[in-house]
Amino acid sequence: MNDVTDFANSVTRFRLSVITFVSETIHILKNLLMQTYYKQAMIIDDDPVDRFILRRNLKKANIASEIIEASTGINALNILTHYSLNRQEPPELIFLDINMPVLNGFEFLDTIEQLSKGFNNRCRIVITSASENEVDRKKALSYKSVIGYLEKPVQEEALLELKEQVRLNHAS
């Protein structure tokens, strides 16, 4: 009878250690999945509702630790110039609306490409647009620093797919 009891106790301890191991592994994997990919992201969009939705979904998807917002392309260039003058790293990821007044997304991209070649190596840009125009999409994706094109309003699922795409690109 003692042998049976000892065996049952051993099986119980083994089961508990397996459950603990699996639980700890799941916890570690969840933490890895929830880690942010970027220190800073910037949203450049003239529509406050689109900025709000994107900011909320960026937080849900854990894309960046800090999110900076600019309501115009000019405002964004001023922020980026401030970073440069103070020798600070620019945001690693920019979500850029195409259709904005004064300085549209394409003009912003042209300006950034002319300002600093080093900027293009440190920052990636994702175009956000309500336009389903294939010409706009192809033109946007032709820029070296552009890594994606997302339709607005930008959903959390699209950001998670982008996060996975970035992870796979870093792994290869």
Q: pLDDT digits over 112-141, tens only?
A: 888 766 565 678 999 999 888 899 999 999
Q: What is the pLDDT of residue 36?
A: 61
Residue 101 pLDDT more than 80? yes
Given this model, what pLDDT does residue 33 score?
54
Residue 80 has pLDDT above 80, yes or no: yes
Nearest to 64 by CA among 169, 162, 137: 162
Q: What is the pLDDT of residue 151?
A: 93
Q: Report the percent of the chain where pLDDT is more than 70.
A: 85
> What percent of the chain is modeled with pLDDT above 90?
46
Q: Is the dihedral of CA 91, 92, 98, 103 positive or negative?
A: positive
Residues 22-65 have pLDDT tens digits of 777 665 655 555 556 788 999 999 999 999 999 999 998 888 88
What gap in Å lies between CA 140 and CA 106, rounded to an integer? 7
- pLDDT at site 35: 59
pLDDT band of 7, cuts 50, 70, 90: confident
The backbone torsions φ and ψ at residue 42, rounded to the nearest 5 degrees and listed phi first, read: -125, 140
Residues 6+ apart with CB under 8 A from 109: 96, 125, 140, 143, 145, 146
